[in-house]
Amino acid sequence: MCNFASFIVERSGTVHWCAGTDNHHEILSRAGIDDSRSEFAYRGWAKVEVIPPDLDRTRPVSEWSFRIDEVTTPDWFEAGHYRVTLTALAQRLKAEAGAYNVRYTQSS
């Protein structure tokens, strides 16, 4: 299910999102990521959502729910992936009124 705010998080720590859409397939397409590989265990990315309570974006981010929108959490997903996703959320919230381009956040 695609909720605000949706992201694709790669094993490498790169986070993809698109202003104007929370559809994971659209984010994958705009980022040029092949999502035809259905074998979850072999994918190098995961669908992630950070959702405000009652979908109220004015609530403090500390109250939002972090959710991996997959059958199970990938074994490679670690605390660093969580942190870069929250960094991408902050960037997305700042740029929400901007262009409908794919944005990238690379882990350090």
Q: pLDDT (tens digit, 9 = 90+) per residue, 2-43?
A: 788 999 999 999 999 988 899 999 999 999 998 876 677 678
What domain count does the chain have?
Answer: 1
Residue 1 lies in a domain: no
Structural domain boundaries, residue 83: 6-105
Predicted pLDDT at 99: 47
The answer to whether the predicted template modeling score (pTM) of the entire model surpasses 0.85 is no
Can you tell me the mean pLDDT for 67-75? 91
Q: Which of 4, 12, 6 is nearest to 30 (CA)?
A: 6
Residues 20 and 104: their CA atoms lie apart, in Å, by: 15
pLDDT higher at 3 or 99? 3
Amino acid at 18: C
Predicted pLDDT at 100: 43
Query: What does each C-alpha distance from 105 to 4, 14, 67 come to in angstroms?
Result: 18, 5, 18
Q: Which of 84, 81, 68, 77 is nearest to 24 (CA)?
A: 68
Predicted pLDDT at 15: 97
Q: pLDDT (tens digit, 9 = 90+) per residue, 79-93?
A: 999 999 999 998 988
